[in-house]
Amino acid sequence: MTALWLAIGFWLAAWAVNVWLAGSRLSRTGPGRALVPLLFGATVLVLWEGLVRGLGVAPVILPAPSVIAAKIAVELPTLWQDFAQTILKGAIPGFLIGAGAAFLTAIAIDRSPFLQRGLLPVGNFVAALPIVGLAPILVMWFGFDWQSKAAVVVVMVFFPILVNMVAGLQASERMQRDLMATWGASYWQGLFKLRLPAAMPFLFNGLKIASTLALIGAIVAEFFGSPVYGMGFRISTEVGRLGLDMVWATIAVAALAGSAFYGLITLIERGVTFWHPSQRH
Amino acid sequence: MKDGVSQPVIEAKGVNLVFQTADGPVQALKDVNLTVNRGDFVSFIGPSGCGKTTFLRAIAALEHPTGGTLTVNGMSPDEARRKRAYGYVFQAAGLYPWRTIAGNIRLPLEIMGFSKAEQDERTERVLDLVELKGFGKKFPWQLSGGMQQRASIARALAFDADILLMDEPFGALDEIVRDRLNEEVLKLWARTGKTIGFVTHSIPEAVYLSTKIVVMSPRPGRITDVIDSPLPKDRPLDIRDSREFIEIAHRVREGLRAGHHED
């Protein structure tokens, strides 16, 4: 029971420190601003640890963070192998192929009203297919290895990026397009010098939404057949063996990978769309 | 520009333009006849809906007449546009926010295939012309509205088209900035000898700037009066208090009122 009281004591103390931090001059400095969420995260972990220990929660229901951390330390080679299989081979290539295809399709659609009427509804239809139905089919088609996972990711990320990119290509103002016309610009000049730059904020919205979808797709697809490694495989088999600490360890890796991926896209976005009102500081 | 020798740059004969809208056809221009000579400064003035902007856009081949003939430098407006016969300045600056001021001015030059060295040289020159020297590296959103509009004029000047079309370029600016920019436009016109088409709904602006004032009226858009200004080419701001100026302004006002009565 002492663990629980210690944890609650830490929570209250951290709370007080955060309140003080938010009001103090330190909160306007870089490290001060980083300290508040760090302290909050630490509090969640300490409280979690204290609750699990203090109340004697069964490890199958909720393992303590220390147990999960220990598991991560021990199983690092396995976790790395799973990460490489699911993220590096499944999610990222699938994301890149899907994003590239959506980008090119958006330009084709924009160029031709016929495709706009034909392709968008088809894309919409594919996006409406449930992933749990689609994944087994793609596993049958492309085999158990990462190729089928990448294919699922392609299908999942394609539509949100396509819709955003099509909207983005129409985002330039009429006056800006008229200017291009008065300069006698060709279609491609107008595309590269005006419409693509103007579409970038939209594209990055699509990419950010798709980044989380890519992770989900790659993991869930492994439930329907995979080699004997991969994050989805690990989760489904360890659940069956009640190895919940390993499930949590895998989830921790997935959360870190997802945040890093999202953060990377946000960073690139800031560089590319620095001119957009949402990015000007 | 030789005195006495009139070289028509823009010729409109019986130009009609009908827009097909959801509420049926709208006659934006009806039977417009006009000749603009080389070096003229022509203002188009009238209430909204009189077709002044539509006519300017038709000259720039951004709209297409549904009847009559319209020629620019003896060609169709589309051909003239492909030969880069005009620079167009819109109501808002319309600068591309991802490009610096210099980058924006360089944009038409890139599209028209000028060499890198010439792009730099021309950009420097027009930045100087509109008194924005030293602002080339700024982004549009870091500049005031007046400076942005000056940059957009520089952009229209950069490729040295013979014709400069300006659609209420200073409409969104305050009176003081507007006065200064009007003076600058006059200086620019004197220095470059370009033919300028200028849409406005300000009577003093039209009279102050123009050698020819085209008064238009709405529903359907048509020309009700064309006034050749007797004012000298050199115009200080206080010319606006002279008798001739007031007389011309009076005639413009009468023309606008007459058009209004016919509604």
pLDDT (tens digit per residue) in B246-263: 888 888 888 888 766 554
Per-residue pLDDT at B100 exceeds 50: yes
Q: If you average pLDDT over residues B94-115, what whole number do you get?
A: 91
- For the stretch A177-233, pLDDT in tens is 888 988 888 889 999 999 999 999 999 999 999 999 999 999 999 998 888 888 999
- For the stretch B20-52, pLDDT in tens is 888 888 888 888 888 888 888 999 988 887 888
Q: Is the peptide bond before B47 cis (omega within 30 degrees of 0)?
A: no
Decide if B1 is inside a domain.
Answer: no
Q: If you average pLDDT over residues A35-62, what whole number do you get?
A: 88
d(CA B240, CA B247): 10
Decide if B3 is inside a domain.
Answer: no
Please tell me the predicted confidence (pLDDT) of residue B232.
Answer: 77
Of the candidates A233, A218, A255, the residue with the CA atom closest to the CA atom of residue A65: A255
- Interface residue A127 vs chain B (CB under 8 A): no
Same domain membership, residue B107 and residue B237: no
Please tell me the predicted confidence (pLDDT) of residue B263.
Answer: 47
- The dihedral formed by the CA atoms of A31, A34, A35 and A41, expressed in degrees to the nearest 10: -160
Domain boundary among B135, B160, B185: B160
Question: A146-155, A169-178, B226-235: which range is least confident on average?
Answer: B226-235
Domain boundary among B160, B175, B207: B160
Same domain membership, residue B137 and residue B113: yes
Decide if B202 is inside a domain.
Answer: yes
Q: How much is the pTM?
A: 0.81
Pairing, β B86-89 against β B163-167? parallel
Decide if B10 is inside a domain.
Answer: no
Please tell me the predicted confidence (pLDDT) of residue A99.
Answer: 95
- For the stretch A76-122, pLDDT in tens is 999 999 999 999 998 999 999 999 999 999 998 888 878 878 888 88
Domain with residue B203: its CATH number is 3.40.50.300
Decide if B250 is inside a domain.
Answer: no
Please tell me the predicted confidence (pLDDT) of residue A281.
Answer: 65
Of the candidates B159, B167, B261, the residue with the CA atom closest to the CA atom of residue B217: B261
Q: If you average pLDDT over residues B8-28, what whole number do you get?
A: 83
Same domain membership, residue B171 and residue B116: no
Pick the residue with more confidence: A24 or A262?
A262
Same domain membership, residue B133 and residue B119: yes
Same domain membership, residue B224 and residue B112: no
d(CA B223, CA B32): 6
Per-residue pLDDT at B209 exceeds 80: yes
From B109's Cα to the closest Cα of chain A, the distance in A is 9
Decide if B253 is inside a domain.
Answer: no
Contacts of A154 (CB under 8 A, 6+ apart): A94, A97, A98, A101
Please tell me the predicted confidence (pLDDT) of residue B2.
Answer: 43
- Window 161-180 of A, Cβ < 8 Å to B: 173, 175-176, 178-180
Of the candidates A59, A50, A45, A69, the residue with the CA atom closest to the CA atom of residue A251: A69
Q: Is the Cβ pair A275, B84 closer than 8 Å? A: no
Same domain membership, residue B142 and residue B166: no
**Residue count (chain B):** 263
Q: Is the Cβ pair B96, A184 closer than 8 Å? A: no
Distance of CA A199 to the CA centre of its chain: 21
Tokens of A4: 């629980």
Same domain membership, residue B263 and residue B190: yes
Tokens of B61: 């081949």
Question: A150-159, B74-83, B135-144: which range is least confident on average?
Answer: B74-83
Per-residue pLDDT at B82 exceeds 90: no
Decide if B213 is inside a domain.
Answer: yes
Same domain membership, residue B72 and residue B106: no
Closest residue, chain A, to B83 (C-alpha):
A184
Closest residue, chain A, to B157 (C-alpha):
A183
Per-residue pLDDT at B4 exceeds 70: no
Domain boundary among B137, B160, B183: B160
CB atoms within 10 A of CB B97: 17
Per-residue pLDDT at B216 exceeds 80: yes
From A109's Cα to the closest Cα of chain B, the distance in A is 24
CB atoms within 10 A of CB A91: 32
Conformation bin of residue B156: beta by default, left when phi > 0, alpha when psi is -120 to 50: alpha
Per-residue pLDDT at B3 exceeds 70: no
Same domain membership, residue B178 and residue B262: yes
Q: Is the Cβ pair A179, B141 closer than 8 Å? A: no
DSSP B168: S
Please tell me the predicted confidence (pLDDT) of residue B260.
Answer: 63
Same domain membership, residue B81 and residue B179: yes
Please tell me the predicted confidence (pLDDT) of residue B72.
Answer: 85
Per-residue pLDDT at B54 exceeds 90: no
Same domain membership, residue B176 and residue B149: no
Percentage of chain B lying above the pLDDT 70 cut: 96
Decide if B38 is inside a domain.
Answer: yes
Same domain membership, residue B80 and residue B173: yes
Please tell me the predicted confidence (pLDDT) of residue A200.
Answer: 93
Per-residue pLDDT at B19 exceeds 60: yes
d(CA B41, CA B195): 6
Tally of structural domains, chain B:
2
Q: Which domain holds residue B219?
A: 20-85+162-241+258-263
Q: If you average pLDDT over residues A153-158, what whole number do you get?
A: 91
From B5's Cα to the closest Cα of chain A, the distance in A is 29
Which residues in B have their CB inside 8 Å of a CB on A? 60-62, 81-84, 86-88, 90-92, 94, 96-98, 107-108, 110-112, 139, 141, 159
Per-residue pLDDT at B218 exceeds 90: no
